């Protein structure tokens, strides 16, 4: 294990190609993170065409690094202008923006960037520590449990993303699952839903579907909204490098809080469905609850900046765990990343622990090194990176649409995918307009093949009795409990909130 | 418009219901093992759609009883993606629903036109026209900026994909036809 751990690090650091790609990924991730309208999962979907034909490890390192550092730069606009660039940055705004208004923008930025990088590194360490602990658990899972895990993943995502209505999320998740059955049936060779269209025999292109459900609707929404992220003049946010350094030193000064919130974030990341927003808000709440002076929060307390940033970035390390070992993406961003990994030839599952351990360690090191590079870059360029928030969203739309079209075509080299892109984009936009969640779709589509294969194997091994295995019963219980609570929450929203401790 | 918004959730549920019913119906013609998975997914999904239709009707009725007008749109949960899409733009322009609908149609027009352009004239024919056209007429950039950005990015992409990654993108049916004619 130790051998593999360090040989992976050395192999990564000594490869100019991998390190060069990592540098590009850091820069792109930071730029994308601060640019309005482009979220983490969208950036991965857009990057897929560029890793086409790459080898497994450099391609995976490129995508993971880009995904991991994406959130590090998102807080710049939250702090400097009070406008969160993403859902999880909203928690940082509560104390970050008041600090900027008091003339401490540099201190807030220094603390948030360092905290974010620190969280990312601790998240990777937590993931590494969990490997030997989880190994026997992962290897104990049979095909029956992998099928039920796929359903559990969809249920969790549907529960979290569907607001007070889990059924919409479940329907969208099942829509993804059923579209995954398009193509040749692996057992009988029957071309399902493909007819005479040969390009469909290999199944629906995952890249095309993801781009259609997320990228195109987001771009049309961005185009309809128009405007730029910031209405505030750049001159109003004061900044100095001395303050920035003071902010950096705030993280070692509050090392115990940073460590705790990083671990909390990493653990939240391991639970499918709980996104980075949940991690950020949970950690912010923890910082307030454990503070001796909670009245300072909301008025510019630096702990209120450190806690959400460490938590949301540490989550990425934790989220890799279910994604790589169980094939259940912890979030929609991880689902897109998992889809990209599949394209690169990485097969998630228990074999990652046995046959692909060097790759796992390379990914852990990519998180650590990527975050270190990102902190260094961002501390120097954060002042200028903030200018990107002034870009008019409408100017970005055509460039992203072009990359989307190339991405949809390039994966299989089939023009028919462009037609599918249009059809699925219409459904994606319909979902967006009607307020339905789209994240469960990606999870369903990614997990469809794994779920079908696992179900067939489980049926061959145990017949219908596979439901009665103890682990299977536990997973079924979790699925039913999640649905039951969601229905209860929908029928009696105020009671459910009170039971959870949220008293209005 | 209001009626459309009121029933938009149910419309989406009906679209999904139709998709699942058609897919299950088609699957019923497959051999046993091939139709197993579509049935395992499709049949519960159809039931879920009916539950959702019932809940949509319940929400509408509750909205009427509470006298809240269009409760469907108001009480609809915003999923994280929507919130994210709607979140960042503090400088968002105030647009009327009619104007919003017009913008949606225009943007869909650009998108469909671009895809049609790729199919007919290929990527390298459609990309510069789309970029320059969108930047000039939709984003209201100057001609100089539109031409510089549109053509510059098109050339950069050409070198990245055709030369760097050695990927030949779709040439377009019209272009291929004309080139075939010229070769003869």
pLDDT band at A424 (very low <50, low <70, confident <90, very high): very high
Which tokens belong to A299?
């008025």
- Counting beta carbons within 10 angstroms of the beta carbon of residue A158, is it exposed (0 to 12), middle (13 to 18) or buried (19 or more)? buried
Q: In this complex, do B23 and A406 lie within 8 Å of one another by their Cβ atoms?
A: no
Each residue's pLDDT tens digit, A373-405: 888 888 887 777 666 666 677 888 898 899 889
Q: In the prediction, which pLDDT does A504 show?
A: 36
Q: What is the pTM (predicted TM-score) of this model?
A: 0.78
Strand partners, A183: A192
For residue A454, the model assigns a pLDDT of: 85
Chain A, nearest residue to B80 by Cα:
A161
Q: What percent of chain B has pLDDT over 90?
A: 42
pLDDT at residue number A228: 54
Q: What is d(CA A230, CA A213) in angstroms, rounded to the nearest whole number?
A: 27
Residue A53 with chain B: CB contacts under 8 Å: 165, 167
**Inter-chain residue contact B88 with A83, CB threshold 8 Å:** yes
pLDDT in tens, A430-465: 988 888 888 788 778 888 888 888 888 888 888 877
A470-480 pLDDT per residue, tens: 888 888 898 88
CB contact under 8 A, A77 and B104: no
C-alpha distances in Å from residue A34, one per residue of A39, A85, A167, A190, A243: 9, 7, 34, 47, 21
Tell whether ipTM is more than 0.90: no
- How sure is the predictor about B76, in pLDDT bands with cuts at 50, 70 and 90? very low
Contact B80 A427 (CB under 8 A): no
Q: Please compute the mean of the pLDDT values over residues B8-14 and round it to a whole number.
A: 82
Tell me the average pLDDT across B152-175.
Answer: 87
**Chain A closest CA to B69's CA: distance in Å?**
17
Question: Which chain B residue has its CA at the smallest distance from A400's CA?
Answer: B131
- With CB atoms and an 8 Å threshold, state whether B123 touches A405: yes
Burial label, A2 (beta-carbon count in 10 A; 0-12, 13-18, 19+):
exposed
Over residues A170-186, the pLDDT tens digits come to 899 899 999 999 988 88
pLDDT at B82: 36
Of B48, B49, B79, the CB nearest to A163: B79
Minimum-distance CB partner of A415 among B45, B87, B170: B170
Phi first, then psi, for residue A325 (nearest 5°) are: -90, -30
Triad A272, A277, A278: Cα angle to 5°: 60
Task: Provide CB contacts within 8 A for A264, sequence distance 6+.
Answer: A279, A282, A283, A286, A311, A314
User: Closest to A394 (Cβ–Cβ): which among B111, B127, B138?
Assistant: B138
Phi first, then psi, for residue A190 (nearest 5°) are -75, 130
Establish if B141 touches chain A: CB-CB under 8 angstroms: yes
pLDDT exceeds 80 at position B48: yes
At B26 the pLDDT is: 93
- By CB atoms closer than 10 A (0-12, 13-18, 19+), residue A105 is buried
Give the C-alpha separation, A112 to A109, whole Å. 5
Question: What's residue A127's pLDDT?
Answer: 86
pLDDT at residue B128 greater than cutoff 90: yes
Q: How far apart are CA A181 and CA A177, in angstroms?
A: 7
Q: Angle at the Cα of B84 (from B78 to B85), degrees rounded to 5?
A: 90
Q: Give the DSSP H/E element, type plus range, for residue A53.
A: none
* Residue-wise pLDDT tens digits, A61-74: 888 888 877 777 77
**Read out DSSP for A155-198?**
HHHHHHHTTT-HHHHHHHHHHHHHHTT-EE-TTT--EES-TT-G
The DSSP symbol for B142 reads -
pLDDT of residue B61: 78
Tell me the shortest Cα–Cα distance from B67 to chain A, in angstroms.
Answer: 19
Q: Which of A188, A220, A226 sits opposite B31 (nearest CB)?
A: A188
């Amino acid at each position: 294990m130790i051998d593999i751990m360090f040989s992976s690090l050395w192999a990564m650091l000594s490869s100019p190609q991998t390190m060069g790609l990592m540098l590009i990924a850091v820069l792109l991730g930071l730029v994308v993170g601060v640019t309005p309208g482009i979220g983490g999962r969208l950036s991965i979907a857009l990057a897929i065409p560029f890793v086409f034909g790459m080898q497994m490890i450099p391609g995976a390192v490129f995508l993971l690094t880009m995904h991991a550092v994406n959130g590090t730069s998102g807080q710049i606009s939250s702090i400097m202008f009070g406008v969160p660039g993403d859902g999880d940055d909203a928690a940082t705004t509560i104390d970050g923006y008041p600090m900027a208004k008091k003339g401490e923008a540099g201190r807030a930025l220094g603390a948030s960037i360092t905290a974010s990088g620190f969280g990312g590194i601790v998240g990777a360490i937590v993931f590494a520590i969990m490997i030997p602990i989880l190994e026997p658990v992962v290897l104990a899972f049979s095909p029956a449990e992998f099928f039920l895990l796929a359903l559990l993943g969809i249920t969790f995502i549907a529960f979290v993303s569907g607001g007070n209505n889990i059924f919409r999320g479940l329907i969208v998740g099942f829509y993804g699952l059923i579209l995954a059955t398009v193509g040749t049936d692996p057992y009988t060779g029957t071309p399902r839903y493909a007819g005479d269209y040969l390009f469909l025999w290999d199944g629906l292109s995952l890249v095309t579907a993801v781009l259609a459900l997320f990228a195109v609707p987001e771009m049309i929404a961005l185009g309809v909204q128009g405007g730029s992220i910031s209405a505030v003049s750049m001159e109003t946010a004061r900044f100095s490098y001395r303050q920035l350094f003071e902010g950096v030193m705030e993280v070692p000064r509050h090392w115990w809080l940073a460590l705790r919130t990083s671990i909390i974030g990493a653990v939240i990341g391991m639970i499918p469905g709980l996104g980075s927003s949940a991690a950020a808000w949970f950690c912010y709440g923890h910082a307030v609850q454990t503070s001796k002076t909670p009245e300072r929060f909301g008025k510019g307390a630096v702990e209120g900046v450190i806690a959400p940033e460490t938590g949301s970035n540490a989550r990425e390390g934790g989220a890799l765990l279910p994604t790589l070992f169980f094939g259940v993406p912890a979030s929609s961003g991880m689902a897109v990343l998992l889809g990209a990994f599949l394209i690169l030839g990485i097969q998630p599952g228990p074999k990652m622990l046995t046959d692909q351990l060097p790759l796992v360690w390379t990914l852990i090191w990519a998180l650590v090194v990527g975050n270190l590079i990102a902190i260094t870059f961002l501390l120097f360029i954060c002042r200028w990176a903030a200018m990107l928030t002034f870009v008019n969203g409408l100017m970005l739309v055509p460039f992203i649409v072009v990359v989307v079209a190339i991405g949809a075509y390039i994966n299989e080299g089939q023009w028919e995918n462009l037609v599918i892109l249009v059809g699925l984009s219409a459904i994606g936009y319909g979902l967006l307009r009607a307020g339905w969640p789209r994240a469960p779709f990606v999870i369903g589509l990614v997990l469809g093949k794994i779920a079908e294969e696992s179900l067939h194997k489980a049926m061959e091994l145990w017949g219908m009795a596979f439901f009665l295995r103890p682990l299977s019963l536990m997973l079924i219980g979790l699925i039913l409990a999640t649905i039951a609570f969601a229905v209860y929450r929908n029928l009696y929203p105020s009671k459910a909130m009170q039971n959870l401790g949220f008293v209005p | 418009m209001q009626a459309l918004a009121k029933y938009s959730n149910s419309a989406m549920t009906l679209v999904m219901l139709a998709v699942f019913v058609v897919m299950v119906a088609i699957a019923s013609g497959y051999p046993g093992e091939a139709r197993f998975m579509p049935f395992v997914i499709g049949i519960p999904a159809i039931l879920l759609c009916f539950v959702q239709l019932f809940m949509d009707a319940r929400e509408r009725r509750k909205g009427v009883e509470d006298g809240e007008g269009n409760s469907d749109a108001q009480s609809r949960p915003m999923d994280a993606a929507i919130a994210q899409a709607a979140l960042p733009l503090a400088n968002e322009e105030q647009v009327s629903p009619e104007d919003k609908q017009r913008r949606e149609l225009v943007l869909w027009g650009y998108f469909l036109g671009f895809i049609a352009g790729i199919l007919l004239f290929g990527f390298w024919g459609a990309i510069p026209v789309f970029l320059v056209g969108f930047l000039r007429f939709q984003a209201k950039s100057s001609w100089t900026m539109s031409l510089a950005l549109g053509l510059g990015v098109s050339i950069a992409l050409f070198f990245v994909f055709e030369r760097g990654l050695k990927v030949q993108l779709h040439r377009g049916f019209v272009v291929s036809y004309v080139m075939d004619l010229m070769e003869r």
